[in-house]
Structure 1
């Protein structure tokens, strides 16, 4: 979908945008064929970075928590895409149970849940919210800062089905990334659709597996339209035996950082890029921008001070970091109201349904923007995302955001491949 940008945007012209524009027909045909072979995730979001010479996803979330940041003008697109997703999974579905994170004090997250419920109800579903919190023993209504309300209810298990009092849903939708593991109440739900599947949670999922799947998807796509896959792919390395508290694995980490920086320098030389290359070291599992550091030289990961080690050692739910991914850093040359910004694109089924800019006034263009102090600027769509405006320049808003939609969908397709390839044998049989 082609969003129309309503906030100030600056940035160098992407040659890539022209290539996408010129090959739009082939691109859409290629995607259509891919989705015949792969089941798209119910929903997802991806963070993009636009350096002018490179446009690439740097993170893919299968349990998106920012629907509250989408402009209200996105609602028709969200409802239409959600309807397609539901029809694909269970065409006669009438009841859905939504299980959120346990963030009952996080107003922004709760507003996300309320927005998601609104979208789902408009598809014709009866939606109830079941809580994993042990202290929710009766229906509990929460008043939200934006005037909305949410009612959380205790989960009830009956055999291999899950619901709440007087409510037996066709499907269970998780908006909880299972970082702390799989609760027993979610195991063995053989008679209901559980979406996303349990193995998509961060207790199992690894960013490096997604990156490997994205490698293959992008290589096939790049060959189809005749581009260098590096232009849309942040390369990566992995270090699987790290203990930041005990200072073990530093040699592996330094070696992989140096290897990747050497590769990036070679590509920068090939494209006459004068910017300083960098990599991002982050936990191979987890969200919320935790366990992330920017590195420009391998020496920076040897002998980390106590503060740096503490920052990298633990992620969401207090989980210890033992595996890290070293990802090629992509500068962001985009700004909104003078501050560094990156687009976040939201998808349901295989459609782009909206997006917003993550903006940070205190971060540089080579730093992680998913950090305290960030804020969001909605984007508003004015036409269907699959129809770029060929009468305008390649960097016109519809065409720039068509490019965003293309790369975001590649990341979503990679997530589909990743989910398929990591499906446990017992789930595959079921």
Structure 2
């Protein structure tokens, strides 16, 4: 089943898809040159929003979970991309230590860890799972929802190496976004570790990512001669905010009003008959925490205690004092009449799959990364890296190719973002 747009495919997005297909040789040549200049992250996932008139990334995760939700028919793409990624970080690698998040009570997350382990094993590596749980004293089997189990083992620090009992890995793969900070165990290791610990949410900021993305989008849009707004959401940033005390919200109100006005001007320019909105989110963090939709700046004057508390604290109890204000991009894609958004997965610089995040209780202008979401694998007929110019631009494989292009732009932005961060955090 291929999810479908509920809007007529005759507007600017269809034009965008056609322009991307027509420029495919130039686009792929441009990407090849970019990857010679910039090192792609080991892996990433990108949340896209398809409004029917605009297709844009709204979040980029450098520690993606959800590999268990990908279409199994394209596992081979993951294996080949993993081989390419490992060759770049440590060509002699034979053994991998995979470090997951600490939420062992989420069996579906652990199914994702199992899928990652399987990808690396099929790529030719010995893989064991090392847990950062402080109370894990001995190897522990945890059951998986699809059958089987996963062995979690306590990590040990020996000098400048992270090891398990009778296992000294060549490289370490983090699937833990380190929202609570980088533990001493992971500092100053001699092993290759990807993504770098300083790329976790304790130091990374979404506003820096979208600053890098804006530059990438402008370069790309000069290449194919389109308005960057069609793939780049407006955004702003504010620090010094405290939702629990109401500090800084007047400034946020003013910024929301400015963003809404900019969006209205674009809507008028392109005869778009939609009501603009802004997504206010924590400038760091994941799992859809600390996110709200604002259609009128006055709404910030009317936040109740529950709403303030929801915005004040995110994963691992981290307080929110920096926020990203992002142009809201409504999603007009549905799966079985429920609102959906595509999420594209990449390893190295290759698209390896994706899925639709589907929510039966959310609207087209709301965050779908919330409890109650479920997932439908993208029904790739061909790999998303390829397109077929003999078919219409909105043919499923061509639409997915367009998704892959925009997702790779976000991946390139992440590569540049990490380059900007490296001098501050690398030693």
Query: Pairwise mapping of residues 13-412 of structure 1 onto structure 2 (< 5 A)?
Result: 13=9, 14=13, 15-189=15-189, 191-412=190-411
SS in structure 1 opposite 2:88? Answer: helix
| CA distance, structure 2, for counterparts of residue 426 and residue 357 of structure 1 | 35
Partner of 2:416: 417
SS in structure 2 opposite 1:386? Answer: coil
SS in structure 1 opposite 2:380? Answer: strand
| CA distance, structure 1, for counterparts of residue 186 and residue 314 of structure 2 | 23
User: Unaligned regions of 5+ residues in structure 2, if any?
Assistant: none
Indicate conservation of the 8 Å contact 1:199/1:419, yes or no.
no
Deviation of the 1:9 alpha carbon: 5.1
Deviation of the 1:22 alpha carbon: 0.7
Deviation of the 1:112 alpha carbon: 0.3
Indicate conservation of the 8 Å contact 2:174/2:193, yes or no.
yes
Indicate conservation of the 8 Å contact 1:28/1:386, yes or no.
no
Alignment CA distance shift 1:238-1:8 (3 Å): closer
SS in structure 2 opposite 1:277? Answer: coil
SS in structure 2 opposite 1:41? Answer: coil
Deviation of the 1:148 alpha carbon: 2.5
| CA distance, structure 2, for counterparts of residue 8 and residue 219 of structure 1 | 29
| CA distance, structure 2, for counterparts of residue 61 and residue 325 of structure 1 | 15
Deviates more, 1:175-184 or 1:374-383: 374-383
Deviation of the 1:163 alpha carbon: 1.3
User: Unaligned regions of 5+ residues in structure 1, if any?
Assistant: none
Deviation of the 1:302 alpha carbon: 2.3
Alignment CA distance shift 1:263-1:8 (3 Å): closer
| CA distance, structure 2, for counterparts of residue 45 and residue 270 of structure 1 | 32
| CA distance, structure 2, for counterparts of residue 66 and residue 200 of structure 1 | 19
SS in structure 2 opposite 1:422? Answer: helix
SS in structure 1 opposite 2:133? Answer: coil
| CA distance, structure 1, for counterparts of residue 130 and residue 224 of structure 2 | 45
Deviation of the 1:158 alpha carbon: 1.2
Deviation of the 1:352 alpha carbon: 0.4
Deviation of the 1:137 alpha carbon: 1.4
Deviation of the 1:379 alpha carbon: 1.6
Deviation of the 1:425 alpha carbon: 4.8
What is the CA deviation profile of residues 328-383 of structure 1, one whole-angstrom value per residue up to 9, with x for unaligned ones? 00011111111110001000000000000001111111111111111111123332
| CA distance, structure 1, for counterparts of residue 3 and residue 339 of structure 2 | 13
TM-score in terms of structure 1 length: 0.96
SS in structure 2 opposite 1:423? Answer: helix
| CA distance, structure 2, for counterparts of residue 281 and residue 70 of structure 1 | 29
What is the CA deviation profile of residues 19-41 of structure 1, one whole-angstrom value per residue up to 9, with x for unaligned ones? 11110010000100000000000
Higher relative contact order (Cα pairs below 8 Å, separated by 6+ residues): 1
Deviates more, 1:11-20 or 1:254-263: 11-20
Alignment CA distance shift 1:426-1:358 (3 Å): closer
Deviation of the 1:206 alpha carbon: 0.5
SS in structure 1 opposite 2:365? Answer: coil
Indicate conservation of the 8 Å contact 2:50/2:329, yes or no.
yes
What is the CA deviation profile of residues 53-98 of structure 1, one whole-angstrom value per residue up to 9, with x for unaligned ones? 1000000000001001112112111101111101111112100100
How many matched pairs?
423
| CA distance, structure 2, for counterparts of residue 53 and residue 9 of structure 1 | 11
Indicate conservation of the 8 Å contact 2:63/2:176, yes or no.
yes
SS in structure 1 opposite 2:129? Answer: strand
Indicate conservation of the 8 Å contact 1:56/1:231, yes or no.
yes
| CA distance, structure 1, for counterparts of residue 125 and residue 8 of structure 2 | 44
Indicate conservation of the 8 Å contact 1:95/1:125, yes or no.
yes
Deviation of the 1:385 alpha carbon: 2.8
Indicate conservation of the 8 Å contact 2:97/2:129, yes or no.
yes
Q: Residue 12 in 1 paired to residue 8 in 2?
A: yes
Alignment CA distance shift 1:244-1:199 (3 Å): same
